[in-house]
Structure 1
Amino acid sequence: MKITLISVYDWISWLTFFGYWFLVVATALRIITKRRPTTFVVAWMLIIYMLPVVGIILYFLLGETHLGQRRVKRAQEMRPIINAFTQKLHDFPFIFTKGVSNVAKPLFQLCENQTGLGGIKGNHIDLISTTDEIFDHLIKDIDQASSNIEMVFYIWYKGGRANQVEEALIRAAKRGVVCRLILDSAGSRQFIKTGESQKMKDAGIQIVESLKVNLFRFMFRRLDLRQHRKIAIIDNHIAYTGSMNIVDPNFFKQDKHVGKWVDIMIRMHGPITTLMSTIFASDWEMETGKKISLPKVTDFAETPEEKKHIMQLIPSGPGYTENMIHQALLTAIYSAQEEIIFTTPYLVPSDDLLHAICTAAQRGVKVSIIIPKKNDSMMVNWASRAFFSDLLESGVKLYQFENNLLHTKSVLIDKQLSLVGTVNLDMRSLWLNFEVTAVIDDTEFAEKLNSLLQSYLNQSIQILPEEWRKRPFWQHITERLFYFFAPLL
């Protein structure tokens, strides 16, 4: 039988056609079997069908949480060590308390059942709400450090007061303080490539580039998995976390025309810092493979002040309790009886979170969400708007912070329970990135946070339901288009 060029071409065409559809079906089945939220499944199904070949490649690049075999192995090896350390905390029962408030009780029960640790009392917390105050406190603590300084930040951007932190760390290293710094490869890309980071290394500061961005690594690790924590620990005695990176708002992203970034940090000392130090030790070993000494529990052997700032820390990310922060948010929302105030720069909630927020408003809880009017991400900005109608129809009050980009990530419930940290109300923070949230059950702290949030509201414009319904039709279409990408943002 004579084989013609046309018949060969036909065979190749059919093989290509069936090969492609086999890949589509196999990928679709893989997505379905992951048992992820319906919106996540529908979004990826649309992408792989609408973008031939490219959609399949994007899914394996961005659709699954690949930490990498080396990091997975290290995480598995660290878990028994961390568990043993947290168990040692129970040798000091006076740092624990069952005397939490009614609204906080379900959340602390969740923490205890998931991590083995309940409410930790005797902590002292300062809420710092201006950039200059944050830098002032941090630089002063660095200058007074005597043994070790550990930091994890998503973004380090040179210029202005960020340079003063760099200089303080160099001074600390020169007087013999061990300085360890973890910076996210994507967020701190420009700083890592500059001579500033090399100058810090030359002074003896250990800098680790976390989750390096490299296209050749996509087969082994998801590219957009990021180290999004903001942590500073001084002498295992003072700890910071919150929304602020090491950036001076006067210099950072001024070309985006969204104004200055508005952030908060909390400064803590007390038994809770032992947990922050273990989070850093875990991150350090996962990135470097090197162990560092965990803090001595005996440093907190003195009986703490009885009811001062009951706290818990919730870390998230691959290797940690799955969906813990998502569960914590849902638990806190369903516990609310009177009022919830959210601040977030990125509002792209999961279906479960959206339902919980709307349900809270429908059962009579006063729910307010403050987001920036201008955002540095066009996709997130439009995707967020797709949720406005459901929220407004349920009675949620939406506010847009004017002039500057509100970057604060916080939740205040019934003027008693506070959640402050690095978590945005979006899919990436809830299910993917390395994040940390501080849970604080304390009326005094809540009053300070509430005062700050009221000042945010005074600088915001409320989105009224009747005005929102009058927006142009093309905006409806654009919102729905970006809504399909919401689970991927």
Structure 2
Amino acid sequence: MNFTLLFTLMALVHVLLIVGVSIRIIMVRLPVSTSLAWMTLIFFLPLGGVAAYLLLGEKRLGSRFSARSRAVYERYERWLKEVPEEIRSDPQRLSSQGQSLNRLAATTVHLPALCGNRLELLDATEPILFSIISDIDQARKFCHLEFYIWNEGGRANEVAAALLRAADRGVTCRVLLDAVGSDRFLKSRLARQLKAGGVEMAVALPVSWSSIFRVRPDLRLHRKIVVIDDTAAYTGSFNLVDPRFFKQDSGVGEWVDAMVRVEGPGVLALNALFRWDWELETGCDLGAQAARIGEIPATRQTGGSDVQVIPSGPGKTHNTIYQILLMAIYSAQEEIVITTPYFVPDDAVTTALLTGAERGIKVTIIVPERNDSRLVHYTCRSYFDDLLSAGVQIFLFKAGLLHTKCVVIDRNVALFGSVNLDIRSFWLDFEVTIGIYDPDFVERLLALQEKYIQNAVEVNLEAWRRRPRRARFYENLTRLASPLL
């Protein structure tokens, strides 16, 4: 065997792999930090790095999904433009920050803030599930549920029972679940019972070995939406789980979540988002079965809150929530309070928070003390030094895994939904948040955040700097991978 020739061929393949994929990375125009991270990985681990990049490096949704998205976009855009003036929020009633956020979101997703909504904050598992079950039991036309995770056990099974009762009395029930987040449930006996009982079930973003290099497997549907009869809707951070039966072996305690129940025109926007997601996965157009937003009477208004539904995800609205978050942080004049389970911001968000603190804004970040991901746990803490040095207050929640996602600006606007303050939520997952431009309701969100702080310990800068060298090493090491997370 000619070992010299073999070595030369291996070296040539090594170089071609590095050069070829590096050119591809340059042409795709990923964020600079992400591009450099991928190129570094490929240089040191060419085979593994190339395989990882082909799997996870680009936002590939597949030709069928992309074609359906293009086909329905214009129709939904026309539907959204039919929003009548009487349910559009009057910009003069909004704060200056609310006006700016409203304009940006309306420009990017073509859905303005809607007035006349009644909002109810549900901040614990029992009231969340009780309220959803109660609304399902009163449904007359349809029940639409969309979740990242449905996990069997406890009160979550009572939601399934309520859906079976609704289907039995002729109510159309549809459930859309993420293929990865709800993988175990989709294979369960309970899922089969729901299908047999007349509940329509669809799987979002399915993953298979045959498509793994054509469709990026970690692009996930992370939204949490419930819509009942166009009269009530829910959104927030809550997956369809009973915390007493969910990830009990993870060592982080029970998950702590919150949802907002909406009555009024905002329900129609959340239902439109569900219909969009359902059609992209099933090809079934639910538009003919839904009320036209232009035909909704002003009497549908049930409260005094202005709400804006803001979707985000790979495709047409790929960075909307990210843009709005940055604008919200930079618009703050007095106070920013952030609650998030996963804190892995990019450079732009980190700079915005540091700049806010350094110009005298009170910036507070609440994260869980323990996280279900060790990688995220260490990466999150790698940001603490800079933030604490700039004057940011950081609280570690001790009473479970705090999973609520909420940003409050100056006590008059809030962003509340499924979006984590991390790169995945900014760029990769399909998310939904609601912009809330009602100072009275924002005060309720602040009261909830204050309750979280009462169950948390504040991170002290001097004590933090005395942490072990080993912890610092892990934090800085995992931060190198943050652009790839």
* TM-score category (smaller protein): over 0.9
- Pair 1:250-2:244 in alignment: yes
Distance 1:94 1:345 in 2: 34
Shift of 1:175: 0.6
2:441 to 445, 450, 457: 445
- Pair 1:168-2:143 in alignment: no
2:91 to 85, 98, 104: 98
User: TM-score by structure 1 length?
Assistant: 0.96
Q: Aligned letter for 1:394?
A: A
Distance 1:376 1:221 in 2: 27
Distance 1:306 1:251 in 2: 36
Deviation per residue, 1:174-217 (Å, 9 max, x gap): 11111111111111111111101000000010111211232321
Contact 1:147–1:235 (CA<8 Å) still a contact in 2? yes
Contact 2:319–2:426 (CA<8 Å) still a contact in 1? yes
**How do 1:193-232 residues align onto structure 2 when only pairs under 5 Å count?**
193-232=187-226
Equivalent in the alignment of 1:57? 51
Distance 1:208 1:304 in 2: 30
Equivalent in the alignment of 2:142? 148
Distance 1:299 1:198 in 2: 38
Structure 1 residues 472-481 or 129-138, which shifts more? 472-481
Shift of 1:20: 2.2
**How do 1:301-340 residues align onto structure 2 when only pairs under 5 Å count?**
301-303=297-299, 308-340=304-336
Distance 2:87 2:404 in 1: 33
Equivalent in the alignment of 1:29? 23
Q: Which SS does the other structure have where 1:123 is aligned? A: strand
Shift of 1:300: 2.9
Distance 2:236 2:440 in 1: 18
Contact 2:117–2:263 (CA<8 Å) still a contact in 1? yes
**How do 1:75-114 residues align onto structure 2 when only pairs under 5 Å count?**
75-89=69-83, 91-99=84-92, 100-114=94-108
Could you tell me which runs of 5 or more consecutive residues in structure 1 were left unpaired when the two chains were aligned: none
Distance 2:484 2:154 in 1: 34
Distance 2:265 2:473 in 1: 51
In structure 2, relative to structure 1, the CA distance for the partners of 1:459 and 1:86 (3 Å cut) is same
Contact 1:231–1:240 (CA<8 Å) still a contact in 2? yes
Shift of 1:39: 2.3
Shift of 1:306: 10
Contact 1:239–1:273 (CA<8 Å) still a contact in 2? yes
User: TM-score by structure 2 length?
Assistant: 0.96
Equivalent in the alignment of 2:405? 409
Deviation per residue, 1:133-185 (Å, 9 max, x gap): 00111000000000011111000000000010000000001111111111111
- Pair 1:422-2:402 in alignment: no
- Pair 1:188-2:179 in alignment: no
Q: Which SS does the other structure have where 1:276 is aligned? A: helix
Distance 1:163 1:308 in 2: 34
Distance 1:308 1:295 in 2: 22
Equivalent in the alignment of 2:273? 279
Could you tell me which runs of 5 or more consecutive residues in structure 2 were left unpaired when the two chains were aligned: none
1:349 to 345, 348, 352: 345
Deviation per residue, 1:49-77 (Å, 9 max, x gap): 22230111101101110011000000000
Deviation per residue, 1:290-336 (Å, 9 max, x gap): 11124332563125669811111110112332311100100111111
Contact 2:263–2:302 (CA<8 Å) still a contact in 1? no
1:263 to 233, 254, 257: 257
Q: Aligned letter for 1:111?
A: A
- Pair 1:43-2:37 in alignment: yes
Distance 1:348 1:187 in 2: 20
Equivalent in the alignment of 2:115? 121
Distance 1:205 1:56 in 2: 42
Shift of 1:34: 2.9
- Pair 1:17-2:8 in alignment: no
Contact 1:121–1:304 (CA<8 Å) still a contact in 2? no
Equivalent in the alignment of 2:451? 455
Distance 2:21 2:384 in 1: 32
Contact 1:154–1:183 (CA<8 Å) still a contact in 2? yes
Distance 1:36 1:395 in 2: 32
Superposed CA RMSD in Å reads: 1.5
Equivalent in the alignment of 1:483? 479
Contact 1:181–1:207 (CA<8 Å) still a contact in 2? yes
Count of aligned positions: 482
Q: Which SS does the other structure have where 2:330 is aligned? A: helix
Q: Which SS does the other structure have where 2:244 is aligned? A: coil
Contact 1:104–1:335 (CA<8 Å) still a contact in 2? no
1:71 to 65, 68, 71: 65
Distance 1:121 1:468 in 2: 45
Q: Aligned letter for 1:487?
A: P
Contact 1:127–1:266 (CA<8 Å) still a contact in 2? yes
Contact 1:150–1:280 (CA<8 Å) still a contact in 2? yes
In structure 2, relative to structure 1, the CA distance for the partners of 1:136 and 1:307 (3 Å cut) is closer
Distance 2:294 2:318 in 1: 31
Contact 2:308–2:436 (CA<8 Å) still a contact in 1? yes
